[in-house]
């Protein structure tokens, strides 16, 4: 199995065809028969190259003319430089493999790739000295300069750098114990018996961080556990629904928070889980069946149109886990930072406003409206809620929580629980 050739193909798809990195990687892992070592190397090269794209490009820039180089040859240099800088692989192996791949397409480019990589190896890594603050952070941590400026608008330099550092880390698998089928103690005992290491975060009741991927384990397939980031688990715990409650879960797919609320309510009450895409409705129904969730009804509805189907003051809780820029989940969505721009974020902010304004009156008086995002952008979080409360003084904040990625080595999240007082 030519791991580096397949890695090159995958990187080319992600950059040129704008394919999603996680989808491409899973596609290749399912299509080809990799050994465990090759699977790990392929995944590492693809995700690592995309994660560090701007840094790699900066290191390579003095050694060739990027504008005159074919894209596939440039990406071959990228994956090779990634291995040389970030992985413990013999230099000759990386260079020889790259030249062999290039020679298959064009012998001239094989010589070119050999020359660039050998010059790259002879020189020390290019210094970041002389870059201004924004470009220094942009290049060192491979985040577009506009995105660094966006973080600096809301946070000081030190905090911004800590965010960027966390975005570059590979996280262990976080699971939620599904209390509809198993207890925390039962799952922890089972993991110990299997020799699977884990840690116990203090911030959630039924979350564990497990030191291996559990997505294909029998514990996952049986529904005793599910894959869910620790900070995401905090949302349902902040909702803290009473047994027998009625809940409207907007933008619900893939359904993790609805399933968590169902477990908290022990399958009592009723949860209406809405989403705008039919294939995501099917995904939720499949997930609820695996987890033994019985009190959730899935509905294909645009969150902005839900008021056409429900009466005002008809639910005890509204959970609006709204579409957002995702700036809190960049550690495992490694290509997202290159897809976003300020215009798309402005459109998201307007959509959030629409959802808030069109659904807030559905909650009963003395009921709760919970707004959450997986972003760190204050225009989508604190300032969004400030605007909402100015327009809707009949709501008050009862709990507001911001989880920074470096607080607990989790995704970044914002959660605001509001009560309707009149």
Mean pLDDT of 338-361: 97
Q: What's the predicted TM-score (pTM) here? A: 0.94
| Domain with residues 230-420, CATH architecture | 3-Layer(aba) Sandwich (3.40)
d(CA 336, CA 51): 10
Q: Where is average pLDDT lowest: 44-48, 214-218, 243-247? A: 214-218
Residue 1: predicted pLDDT:
63
Residue 171: predicted pLDDT:
87
Domain range annotation of the chain: 3-122, 133-167, 171-227, 230-420
Q: How confident is the model at residue 127 (pLDDT cuts 50, 70, 90)?
A: very high
Q: Where is average pLDDT lowest: 101-110, 255-264, 359-368? A: 101-110
d(CA 366, CA 394): 10
What percentage of the chain reaches a pLDDT higher than 70?
100
Which pLDDT tens digit goes with each residue over 150-171? 999 999 999 999 999 999 998 8
Active-site residue numbers? Answer: 374
Q: How confident is the model at residue 251 (pLDDT cuts 50, 70, 90)?
A: very high
Domains 3-122 and 230-420 share a fold: no
Q: Report the chain's mean pLDDT, rounded to a whole number.
A: 97
Any idea which fold 3-122 has? N-utilizing Substance Protein B Homolog; Chain A (1.10.940)
Cβ atoms of residues 274 and 252 within 8 Å: yes
Specify the CATH class of 171-227 in words: alpha beta
Which pLDDT tens digit goes with each residue over 302-335? 999 999 999 999 999 999 999 999 999 999 999 9
Contacts for 276 with CB less than 8 Å, ≥ 6 apart? 251, 300, 301, 302, 303
Which own/partner pairs from 337-344 qualify as long-range (CB within 8 Å, at least 24 positions apart)?
Answer: 337/142, 337/143, 337/144, 337/147, 337/167, 338/50, 338/53, 338/144, 339/18, 340/147, 341/146, 342/146, 342/150
Q: How confident is the model at residue 107 (pLDDT cuts 50, 70, 90)?
A: confident
Give the rounded distance of the alpha carbon of 214 from its chain centre.
17
């Amino acid at each position: 199995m030519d791991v580096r050739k397949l890695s090159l193909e995958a990187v080319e798809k992600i950059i040129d065809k704008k394919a999603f990195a996680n989808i491409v990687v899973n596609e290749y892992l399912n299509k080809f028969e990799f050994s465990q070592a090759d699977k790990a190397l392929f995944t590492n090269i693809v995700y690592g190259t995309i994660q560090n794209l701007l840094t790699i490009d900066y290191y390579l820039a003095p050694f060739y003319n990027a504008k005159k180089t074919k894209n596939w040859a440039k990406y071959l240099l990228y994956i090779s430089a990634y291995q040389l800088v970030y992985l413990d692989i013999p230099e000759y192996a990386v260079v020889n493999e790259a030249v062999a791949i290039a020679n298959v397409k064009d012998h001239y480019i094989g010589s070119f790739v050999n020359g660039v990589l050998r010059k790259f190896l002879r020189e020390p890594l290019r210094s970041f000295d002389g870059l201004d603050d924004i470009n220094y952070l942009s290049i060192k941590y491979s985040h577009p300069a506009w995105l660094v400026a966006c973080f600096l608008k809301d946070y000081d330099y030190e905090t911004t750098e800590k965010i960027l550092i966390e975005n570059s880390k590979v996280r262990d698998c976080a699971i939620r114990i599904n209390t509809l089928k198993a207890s925390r103690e039962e799952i922890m005992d089972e993991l110990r018996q299997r020799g699977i290491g884990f840690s116990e975060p203090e911030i959630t009741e039924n979350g564990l961080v497990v030191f291996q991927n559990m997505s294909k384990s029998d514990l996952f397939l049986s529904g005793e556990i599910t894959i869910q980031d620790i900070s995401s688990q905090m949302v349902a715990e902040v909702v803290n629904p009473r047994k027998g409650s009625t809940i409207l879960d907007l933008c619900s797919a893939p359904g993790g928070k609805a399933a968590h609320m169902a477990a908290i309510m022990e399958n009592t009450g009723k949860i209406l889980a809405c989403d705008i895409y039919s294939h995501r409705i099917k995904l939720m129904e499949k997930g609820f069946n695996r987890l033994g969730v019985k009190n959730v009804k899935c509905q294909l509805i645009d969150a902005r149109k839900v008021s056409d189907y429900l009466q005002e003051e008809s639910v005890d809780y509204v959970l609006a886990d709204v579409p957002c820029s995702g700036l809190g989940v960049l550690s495992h969505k490694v290509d997202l930072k290159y897809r976003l721009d300020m215009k798309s974020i402005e459109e998201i902010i307007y959509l959030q406003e629409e959802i808030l304004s069109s659904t807030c009156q559905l909650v009963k008086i003395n009921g709760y409206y919970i707004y959450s995002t997986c972003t760190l952008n204050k225009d989508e979080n604190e300032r969004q809620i400030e605007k909402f409360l100015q327009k809707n003084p009949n709501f008050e904040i009862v709990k507001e929580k911001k989880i920074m990625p470096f607080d607990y080595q989790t995704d970044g999240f914002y959660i605001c629980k509001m009560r309707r007082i009149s």
